[in-house]
């Protein structure tokens, strides 16, 4: 199932997290007027579900940080992306 989560940010930016049908995660941070081109090019930070399993996302607006925490396969996997 394709899922999408979007967070509007200051400076006319958008943080967009999408998953494809098998659950691979792609994260994009772009200006609102450029997001369509980014999606058409299929760019962004990619994380493979086979490597991380199920995951949770948490976004801290005050620090502008996206946290990605794996809940299965890699017990110590976590990642932080700065959203500046």
At residue 84, the pLDDT reads 56
Q: What gap in Å lies between CA 72 and CA 23, rounded to an integer?
A: 13
3-state DSSP assignment of residue 37:
helix
What DSSP character marks residue 73? S
* CA distance from start to end of the chain: 29
* Tokens (6 digits) for 37: 């081109």
Give the whole-number percent of the chain exceeding pLDDT 90: 0
Domain ranges of the chain: 3-82
Which H or E run contains 49? Answer: helix 49-52
Residue 1 in this model has a pLDDT that exceeds 50: no
Give the whole-number percent of the chain exceeding pLDDT 70: 80
At residue 44, the pLDDT reads 85
């Amino acid at each position: 199932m394709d899922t999408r989560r979007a967070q509007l940010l200051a400076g006319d930016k958008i943080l967009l997290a999408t998953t494809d049908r098998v659950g691979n995660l792609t994260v994009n941070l772009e200006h609102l007027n450029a997001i369509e081109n980014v999606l058409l090019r299929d760019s962004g930070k990619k994380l493979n579900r086979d490597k991380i399993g199920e995951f949770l996302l948490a976004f801290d607006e005050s620090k502008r940080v996206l946290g990605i925490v794996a809940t299965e396969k890699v017990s110590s996997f976590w990642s932080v992306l700065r959203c500046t």
